[in-house]
């Protein structure tokens, strides 16, 4: 900061207090405003104390966790209103995919599959961001994606173009994909031989009609 004559002076800050606030969830931006200094000043002090600063993705996730359901709904609606009718840049679309990982509400089918995967000690990442896309279930280390297709949305022309673009990106980046299609009570698995062990598990999950009785689904 500068004094009345414009000369730069070092401002003393309670570093331990700043560190405690940051580690309990206060953002760098809020700390900078609270202590009337720049974001850089806060960041430098955290780094001097060997505290790793949060990535943008981690900050978004923490921010989302701290919101009430009403605040979350309001933020999503505000973002939708701002972006309505506007073309987005590539960087904006990639960031939207990162944000969507934390804001997306799983469908009934996705919840069911997530629960069943856990019974087999499988814990894929849901809505994993890849470029401008999100993968329903992903095993990032092995680069294996599982897509759950169901409902009229998945048969639309727009969704077809979206899926094609996603599959092209997956292929370019060395990912394998398994599709589980749910249509009018029938479940089919489409694959090119990827993830043989996982295919066996999916066949067990999809072949037991008692697991899908509530949704009126049977395996085909």
The CATH code of the domain that includes 195 is: 3.40.960.10
Q: What is the pLDDT of residue 49?
A: 87
Q: What is the pLDDT of residue 153?
A: 44
Cα(157)–Cα(163) distance, rounded to whole angstroms? 10
Q: Which residue has the higher pLDDT, 54 or 158?
A: 54
User: Residues 128, 209: one domain?
Assistant: yes
Angle at 11 between CA 25 and CA 42, to 5 degrees: 25
User: Residues 155, 76: one domain?
Assistant: no
Q: Is residue 210 part of a domain?
A: yes
Q: What are phi and psi of 135, to 5 degrees?
A: -100, 135
**Whether residue 213 has pLDDT greater than 50:** no
pTM of the full structure? 0.54
**Whether residue 187 has pLDDT greater than 50:** yes
Cα(8)–Cα(53) distance, rounded to whole angstroms? 26
Range of the domain at 190: 104-219
Note whether 169 and 135 are within 8 A (CB). Answer: no
Note whether 178 and 146 are within 8 A (CB). Answer: yes
**Whether residue 135 has pLDDT greater than 60:** yes
pLDDT category at 137 given cuts 50, 70, 90 is very high
User: Residues 49, 125: one domain?
Assistant: no
- Please state the rounded mean pLDDT for residues 172-201: 76
User: Residues 135, 162: one domain?
Assistant: yes
pLDDT digits (tens, 9 = 90+) for 55-93: 766 677 667 677 777 776 776 666 555 455 556 678 888
8-12, 76-80, 96-100, 180-184 — which one is most confidently predicted on average? 96-100
Q: Is residue 129 part of a domain?
A: yes
**Whether residue 119 has pLDDT greater than 50:** yes
Tally the domains of the chain.
3
Q: What is the pLDDT of residue 81?
A: 57
Shortest CA distance to 215 belongs to which of 186, 174, 178, 175?
186
User: Residues 112, 196: one domain?
Assistant: yes
Separation in Å, CA 190 to CA 28, 162, 179: 46, 17, 5
To which residue do tokens 């899926």 refer? 163
Q: What is the pLDDT of residue 86?
A: 57
Q: Provide the mean pLDDT of the chain.
A: 76
Cα(34)–Cα(163) distance, rounded to whole angstroms? 46
- Residue 129: strand pairing partners: 134
User: Residues 82, 49: one domain?
Assistant: no
DSSP one-letter code for 142: T
User: Residues 45, 61: one domain?
Assistant: no
Note whether 148 and 182 are within 8 A (CB). Answer: yes
Q: Which residue has the higher pLDDT, 79 or 119?
A: 119
Cα(16)–Cα(1) distance, rounded to whole angstroms? 20
**Alpha-carbon radius of gyration of the chain:** 23
pLDDT category at 30 given cuts 50, 70, 90 is confident
Q: What is the pLDDT of residue 127?
A: 92
Q: What is the pLDDT of residue 83?
A: 54
Share of the chain above pLDDT 90, in %: 5
Q: Is residue 2 part of a domain?
A: no
């Amino acid at each position: 900061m500068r004094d009345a004559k414009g000369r730069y002076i070092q401002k003393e800050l309670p570093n331990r207090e700043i560190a405690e606030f940051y580690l309990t969830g206060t953002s760098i931006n809020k700390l900078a405003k609270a202590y009337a200094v720049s974001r850089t000043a806060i960041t430098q002090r955290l780094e001097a104390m060997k505290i790793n600063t949060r990535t943008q993705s981690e900050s978004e996730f923490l921010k989302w966790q701290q919101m009430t359901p009403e605040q979350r709904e309001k933020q999503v609606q505000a973002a939708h209103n701002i972006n309505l009718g506007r073309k987005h840049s590539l960087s904006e679309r990639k960031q939207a995919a990162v944000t969507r990982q934390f804001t997306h509400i799983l469908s009934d089918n996705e919840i069911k599959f997530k629960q069943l995967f856990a019974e087999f000690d499988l814990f894929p990442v849901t809505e994993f961001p890849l470029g401008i896309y999100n993968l329903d279930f992903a095993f990032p280390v092995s680069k294996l994606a599982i897509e759950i297709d169901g409902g009229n949305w998945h048969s639309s022309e727009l969704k077809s173009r979206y899926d094609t673009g996603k599959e092209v990106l997956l292929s370019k980046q060395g990912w394998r994909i398994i599709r589980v299609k749910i249509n009018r009570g029938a479940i089919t698995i489409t694959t090119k031989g990827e993830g043989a062990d996982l295919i066996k598990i999916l066949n067990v999950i999809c072949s037991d009609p008692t697991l899908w009785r509530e949704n009126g689904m049977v395996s085909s």
